[in-house]
Structure 1
Amino acid sequence: MIIDCHNHVGSDLLFYLHGDFPYAQHLVAMHDEGRALGVDRWIVFPFVSHLALDVTAFMQNEIKDETGRLHDVPYAFENRRLMKEIYELFPEEGKRMLPFVMADPMRNTAAQAQELRKLRGEYRFHGIKMQTTILQADIKHLRDRGKVFVELAAEWDVPFLIHSSVAESDLWAQASDILDIAEENPNVRFCLAHSCRYDKECLDRVQALPNTWFDCSAHCIHCVGAVNDMPYIAPKARRFDSDYTNPARVIADLAAAYPQKFMWGSDSPFYSYAAEINHEIVRLISTYKAEVDALKASGEAVMERIADANIRAYLAGNPSNCGG
């Protein structure tokens, strides 16, 4: 079985209104493309921006929440919309989905927790996803106003999947901060997305902590970033040693170095990214097929481990969590 552990479904008004790509993905389109490539199950969650932000500021790529909100509770609409799509609109495709809910660790967290409890009473979901860079919400709020989400994860025995960064300019999602929080909460499971941007020190900490994993979401364009020494990738002095001109080789090397902690995920549709940054168009373009091909090149044993067994362990080791 191939489980893709990192996928967005729905739409993102911030990306759409600011003119960035991608800004949407339909569950059925993702399912059909992935099934044709051999993918069997998907961990899915909503896109990143939410209606409790000022949507009128999105055209200027600004994150505000004083006015212009379409909803008072972050992700209350988005999480419920995803569950309806999976369980009611498209139940056949939905049988292959493992939904996570999104949460904002900084804004109106008590109301978010209340909404999640309601949702939990109506639908099954398997984890909590956070992308705090876009929200400009420091992940360290999981120690204070966002601690309620850590408590819910422990109560429900579900893991976190958290966007991670090592770029100095990213004040909100540092991989080292996520690892500190994981170390402080040994009874809760954490996955750091994007291979910790290939930062070996952080990957070694994932290896050492019993409650942490990492995924390789958007792997191919991250390899391009490593080849070009882009600032969102760990600098060479801290970078995991591999041949980044060959994404399949990097997967094989990561799987060998971190055999029980590495999980495969595509980050669909964010395996491609295009936007205007500082008046220049940045295009990092890959395909779902390229992500799957890089996985399959490692052979059946590695594929079974990083795209099945490790993900099942992260989800709590219960095969029924993955539909089989």
Structure 2
Amino acid sequence: MLIDCHNHIGADMLFYLHGDFPYAQQLVDMVHTGGSLGITHWIVFPFVSYAAMDVTKFRRGEIGFEHGLETVPYAFENRRMLEECHSLFPAEGRKTLPFVMVDPMRHTDAQAAELVRLRKEHRFHGIKIQSTIIQADIKRLAHEGRVFLDLAREWDVPFIIHSSVIESDVWAQAHDILDLAEANPDIRFCAAHSCRFDKECLDRVNELPNAWFDNSAHCIHCEGAAADKPFVAPKVRRFDSDYTDPARVLADLAAAYPDKFMWGSDSPFYSYAAAISGKVEKLISTYEREVVALKASGPEVIQRIAATNTLRYLKLPDEGILH
């Protein structure tokens, strides 16, 4: 069993209309591509922008929340993904562990009501938040978004939360996510993207009994670290490793944080391309490259970070769904 703990299913109209990449992934394509590389199961969730946002602003790369096609954030996207997994392609869907997406700041009571209805119809195993793109301060999860903490507690499901360390990203700071984990010790949290290799945050994950991290989009984050890009932790705070070698970094993280590291590809966001200030910026990897970095480690490490730790984090009530 090899579980990829971080994957998007569906489409992102913001990325598509603004001309950014990637902007879509089909369930069947993901399973066939990852399956050919030896992956057996996938945690999946929708893309990030949602139909209750003002799509007329997307071509300009702007964020708005009036005149949306829908009213409730992620109500359409969550249902659409779950129906794809459970009704349209049940054979492939049985290999997935769906998470629902939420906006921690807007119409949270209405979102929660939709999730309660949805859970009566479909299985899902956790809650995903990507607060940067939708410009929703993750700290609001303890305020307007507390209803999602209550649901996670009631259903005994975990969170995966996009993390950042660059100062300009005020919405998803890794230390804020870990503050939430510390304040809610009875709820499980995963900080995505290896906390951008911030050693202080990774050490804190290691100390908190209810916190994990995933290494989603690992190879392009290693490239960013090797080039001292601002989207990863600066050298003074960076986990020490050879970032020219993603397999070495993965092995070093697995050794330093043996019980807290979960492997994930971030498909299809293992690559990113966009025109920023008139210049095309590209960070390109492949699913195969992510898996090669994983499989460079020995069988014990592979099983631990791509199965054992993830199963413990999920705390599945019935692991029979994985067979």
| Same fold? TM cut 0.5 | yes
1:226-305 mapped onto 2 (5 Å cutoff): 226-305=225-304
Matched with 1:118 is: 117
Matched with 1:316 is: 315
Whichever residue aligns with residue 56 of structure 2, its letter is T
Whichever residue aligns with residue 253 of structure 2, its letter is L
Q: Distance in 2 between matches of 1:252 and 1:317?
A: 27
Aligned-residue offset at 1:322: 5.8
TM-score between both structures, scaled by the size of structure 1: 0.99
Q: Distance in 2 between matches of 1:294 and 1:73?
A: 39
Q: Distance in 2 between matches of 1:98 and 1:80?
A: 14
1:75-224 mapped onto 2 (5 Å cutoff): 75-224=74-223
Whichever residue aligns with residue 45 of structure 1, its letter is F
The superposition leaves residues 54-95 of structure 1 with CA deviations (integer Å, 9 ceiling, x where unpaired) of: 1000011111112x3000000000000001100000000011
Q: Distance in 1 between matches of 2:264 and 2:80?
A: 23
Secondary structure of the 1:275 match is strand
The superposition leaves residues 217-243 of structure 1 with CA deviations (integer Å, 9 ceiling, x where unpaired) of: 000000000001111000000000000
Matched with 1:47 is: 47
Q: Distance in 2 between matches of 1:138 and 1:52?
A: 18
Secondary structure of the 1:53 match is coil
Q: Distance in 2 between matches of 1:212 and 1:55?
A: 35
Aligned-residue offset at 1:52: 1.0
- Tell me if structure 2 keeps the 8 A contact 1:41–1:322: no
Whichever residue aligns with residue 214 of structure 2, its letter is D
Note closer, same or farther for the CA distance 1:164–1:321 as it changes in structure 2 (3 Å cut). farther
Aligned-residue offset at 1:4: 0.1
Q: Distance in 2 between matches of 1:130 and 1:63?
A: 17
Aligned residue pairs: how many?
323
Note closer, same or farther for the CA distance 1:12–1:154 as it changes in structure 2 (3 Å cut). same
Q: Distance in 2 between matches of 1:165 and 1:33?
A: 28
Aligned-residue offset at 1:321: 6.7
Q: Distance in 2 between matches of 1:214 and 1:159?
A: 12
Q: Structure 2: which 5+ runs fail to align?
A: none
Aligned-residue offset at 1:317: 5.5
Q: Distance in 1 between matches of 2:316 and 2:55?
A: 40
Where has structure 1 moved over 6 Å in runs of 4 or more?
Answer: none
Matched with 2:25 is: 25
- Tell me if structure 1 keeps the 8 A contact 2:94–2:321: no
Q: Distance in 2 between matches of 1:214 and 1:48?
A: 20
Whichever residue aligns with residue 286 of structure 1, its letter is S
Q: Distance in 1 between matches of 2:206 and 2:317?
A: 22
Whichever residue aligns with residue 59 of structure 2, its letter is M
- Tell me if structure 2 keeps the 8 A contact 1:213–1:261: yes
Matched with 2:2 is: 2
Aligned-residue offset at 1:299: 1.3
For the aligned residue pairs, the C-alpha RMSD in angstroms reads 0.9
Whichever residue aligns with residue 158 of structure 1, its letter is V
The superposition leaves residues 83-129 of structure 1 with CA deviations (integer Å, 9 ceiling, x where unpaired) of: 11000000000110000000000110000000000000000000000
Q: Distance in 2 between matches of 1:282 and 1:319?
A: 44
- Tell me if structure 1 keeps the 8 A contact 2:225–2:232: yes
- Tell me if structure 2 keeps the 8 A contact 1:315–1:321: no
Aligned-residue offset at 1:279: 1.1
Whichever residue aligns with residue 252 of structure 1, its letter is A
Q: Structure 1: which 5+ runs fail to align?
A: none
What is the percentage of aligned positions where both structures have the same residue?
67
